[in-house]
Amino acid sequence: MISVENITKSFNDVEILKGISTEFEKGKTNLIIGQSGSGKTVFLKCLLGLFEINTGTISFEDKKLKEMTGKDRTILRQEMGMVFQGSALFDSMTVEENIMFPMQMFTKKADSEIRDRANIAIKRVNLINANTKFPDEISGGMKKRVAIARAIVMNPKYLFCDEPNSGLDPKTAILIDNLIQEITAEFKITTVINTHDMNSVMEIGEKIIFLKNGQKAWEGSNKDIFQTDNQVVSDFVYSSDLFKKVREVYLKN
């Protein structure tokens, strides 16, 4: 579980995050949603420790991030997996090498064992005949799968995803969403997803946090979001006619 208490973050005296508090639960897909510029990416990077927060606390299983030594942080980072918006695969490595990389870096396992574990991860994300291909030889959806495989290969406690289905066709986007949800439940991972995609909100949003102007404006599940009377959330989620109709049908039933 990740606990966030009253965190603030500023850049050049401009406050981006203004006192956010929440909890991300283990074994659930936790979604952060909000308009562009609402502070979602900064929030995610604060959770990852890529940005230092100004005030407040972020705790991983009761261990405060601010109080961790460099060594503790290194250990924590090895318990994290991250799927970047653009996949962030290493261009000079093949698919298999990309997935093997974290294990080669941080474990003392033999190469054969590392390769076996990488292949288990490759199978888990349903990648077929891609082991020897380079990132520029595979599709966007396959890249996301490789990124997910790389993120889970070390059996992380925490999985972070930044816009995991951006740039993907709707069918592939749903597959990726479902894959993340399955992996989260299967390995009891605390998953935090930063997304704009309303399909993801409806499909896999077991816990949703809505950010507006750097503040938490709403919190609930994908079921709650159909019934909310919060105007700001409704304006954002149901901005399209399609979703308005989906909501009407849901509420009628």
> Does 77 sit near other proteins (CB under 8 A)?
yes
Q: How far is the CB of 58 from other proteins (least distance, A)?
A: 15
> Does 106 sit near other proteins (CB under 8 A)?
yes
DSSP 121: H
Q: How far is the CB of 174 from other proteins (least distance, A)?
A: 24
Using alpha carbons, list the distances in angstroms from residue 129 to 64, 90, 119, 210.
42, 19, 11, 39
Segment near other proteins (CB under 8 A); pick from 58-66, 67-75, 119-127, 229-237: 67-75
Segment near other proteins (CB under 8 A); pick from 3-11, 77-85, 203-211, 244-252: 77-85
> Does 73 sit near other proteins (CB under 8 A)?
yes
Q: What angle do CA 25, 10, 235 make, to 5 degrees?
A: 60
Segment near other proteins (CB under 8 A); pick from 74-82, 120-128, 222-230, 244-252: 74-82
Query: Closest Cα partner for 172 from 87, 237, 60?
Result: 87
Segment near other proteins (CB under 8 A); pick from 20-28, 78-86, 184-192, 218-226: 78-86
Q: In the structure encoding, which two tokens stand for residue 183, read together?
A: 């992996």
> Does 84 sit near other proteins (CB under 8 A)?
yes
DSSP string, 91-142: TTS-HHHHHHHHHHHH----HHHHHHHHHHHHHHTT--S-TT--GGGS-HHH
> Does 105 sit near other proteins (CB under 8 A)?
yes
In DSSP terms, which residues pair with 15 in a beta bridge? 10
Residues found in the chain: 253
> Does 164 sit near other proteins (CB under 8 A)?
no
Q: How far apart are CA 83 and CA 69, in angstroms?
A: 25
Task: Name the one residue in this structure whose structure tokens are 């949800």.
Answer: 181
Size of residue set near other proteins by CB under 8 A: 25
Q: Which amino acid is at 225?
A: I
Measured from the CB atom, the residue of 142 and 225 that comes closer to other proteins is 142
Q: Out of 22, 54, 78, 230, name the contact with other proteins by CB under 8 A.
A: 78
Q: How far apart are CA 183 and CA 176, in angstroms?
A: 11
Q: How far is the CB of 182 from other proteins (least distance, A)?
A: 22
Q: How far apart are CA 219 and CA 247, in angstroms?
A: 18
Q: Which amino acid is at 149?
A: A
Q: What angle do CA 44, 47, 51 make, to 5 degrees?
A: 85
Segment near other proteins (CB under 8 A); pick from 79-87, 171-179, 198-206, 220-228: 79-87
Q: Out of 63, 90, 169, 170, name the contact with other proteins by CB under 8 A.
A: 90
Measured from the CB atom, the residue of 7 and 76 that comes closer to other proteins is 76
Binding residues vs other proteins (CB under 8 A) = 48, 50, 70, 73-78, 80, 82, 84-86, 88-92, 101-102, 104-106, 160
